[in-house]
Homo-oligomer: A and B are copies of this chain.
Amino acid sequence: MSRTTMRDVAREAGVSIATVSRVVNGVDAVAESTRRRVLEAIRRLNYSPNLVAKSLVHRGTRNVALFVPDIMNPFFPAIARGVADAVASEGYTVVLCNTDDSTEPGPHFERLLRGNFVDGAILCGTAWDAAPLSELIPADLPVVVMDRRVPGLRADSVEIDNRLGGLMATRHLLDVGCRRILHLGGPVGVSTAEGRLAGYLEALCSGAADERDAAEADSDLITRGPFRAESGYSRTRAALESGLSFDGIFAANDLLALGALQALRQFGRRVPEDVAVIGFDDIYMAALALPPLSTVAQPTYRLGTIAGRMLMDRLDRSASPAQPPAHPQPEPKRVVLEPSLRIRESTRRERVQGSEEE
């Protein structure tokens, strides 16, 4: 009834369990004849080693945990795939957990990380504070944070330059002639949202210094809320109904922008003629939108592979016996990638002035 074990194989082959272990792992050197006998017994019994037992001895499952807010959100599958591919090359598999934007690590986190079920973890887009995290994460378990930052957490991180992205988006809108740009911002306190807003403000301020008629940085033009399409829809609708005037929208992500597009269409505003719209992320729906949505692209798959690699590096290091004497753990690494502008129909209109940029 139960699965066959090494003991069974040993009995079948008439050798000790230690010898079976040796041939299974290919260590030590076994006489060719016994080796053959053992292999034969393994085949006959259809044996395969129990990795849980192995993990107990080695103190390492070859699993890593990946936490994302929601795998159904089109931003995350490519990241998940990137991580999976990166770690698969070292024989690791990924345990996927949806956090649903919970404000603190849940039971899954506890179970996996503290229960030794994974050797490392990647936190993507989580909204958890550094304090509870640092307390919960075992000292010997490497973690890499991506997308959102977790200020104060001592961990490797990968992200894009969100400020720069916000700057690029807003400058582009200014370039195509927008003067009053509505910002559909992300949640307050979330690093990605804050960065994009900072870029927006920076573009507006430096823009005003130009000779061109100053674009306005009006606090009425800034709204904050969840990164969801409905929120983009309702906030744009509210702006439209309140009679607020604006000729451009910079949405902090594509979902928000898609919602905005819908509201605009409903109110008979033409895009890009009446209002130009740009989003952030470049999820594939962006290219398919009506009209196709300009956006600031993130290299999601690559972000995933980088995070995966960083984790593998830490794992290799902690596995190697030779600890450098100075720091037991090297300083956290931080990689910041540059986003890139993807211009499509939603902002394509004749330039107001100069500034060639294709």
Contacts and interface: CB of A to CB of B under 8 A. Distances in A.
A332 interface: no
A61 interface: yes
A314 to B, nearest CB: 16
Nearest to A108: B93
Contacts of A95: 63, 93-96
A208 interface: no
Nearest to A50: B116
Interface in A248-266: 258
Nearest to A97: B93
Interface stretch (A80-88, A143-151, A347-355): A80-88
Bin the interface of chain A by size: 35 or more
A78 B72 contact: yes
Nearest to A106: B88
A111 B51 contact: yes
A112 interface: yes
A49 B138 CA distance: 12
Contacts of A284: 74, 285
A115 B52 contact: yes
A211 interface: no
Closest 4 CB pairs of A and B: A51-B115, A48-B114, A96-B96, A288-B288
12 contacts: A2-B59, A3-B116, A3-B138, A51-B111, A52-B115, A54-B115, A71-B77, A74-B284, A84-B97, A93-B108, A258-B288, A288-B289
Given A84-B97, A91-B111, 12 more contacts: A48-B110, A48-B114, A50-B56, A51-B115, A52-B55, A54-B115, A63-B117, A74-B284, A80-B96, A91-B107, A93-B97, A95-B95
